[in-house]
Structure 1
């Protein structure tokens, strides 16, 4: 069963360029992973500095493997220094 994930990130406007650079590497490498069906970064139109990652994984097992990948662990380490608030992550399966 496919797993849907949405992760919400908030940055101070002073760090937007740095954040986008970190996201570029993360997105590029994650899209190469087995079981990754969608991995898109979206910027909120009304809230500058607010981004959300829209993910679709073939299975929860694939997502769990993603969580141990070096590119994600490096991203988490580096992005934690510039986040305005704690990242929120929502996971679920398709209802309708």
Structure 2
């Protein structure tokens, strides 16, 4: 069963350009992963510095493999100092 994930990031405005650079690497590398069906970065149009990563994975197993990838671990390390608050992550399955 496919797994949907939405991750919410809130960045300090001083780091927006750097954050987008880090996101570009993360998105490019993640889209190459087996089991990745969608991996899109969305910027909230009403809240500067707020981004949503919209993900679709073939399975939870694929997501678990993604969570151990170097490009994701590097991203987490690099942006930790740029975030205003902790990243929120929501996982679910399509019901309709």
TM-score range, shorter chain: over 0.9
Alignment match, 1:70: 70
Q: TM-score, normalised by structure 1?
A: 0.99
Q: Alpha-carbon deviation of 1:81? A: 1.1
Structure 1 runs of 4+ aligned residues shifted over 3 Å read none
Q: Alpha-carbon deviation of 1:63? A: 0.3
Q: Alpha-carbon deviation of 1:60? A: 0.5
Q: TM-score, normalised by structure 2?
A: 0.99
5+ residue gaps, structure 2, are none
5+ residue gaps, structure 1, are none
Alignment match, 2:88: 88
State the distance in 2 between where 1:67 and 1:83 align: 19
Q: Alpha-carbon deviation of 1:12? A: 1.3
Alignment match, 1:36: 36
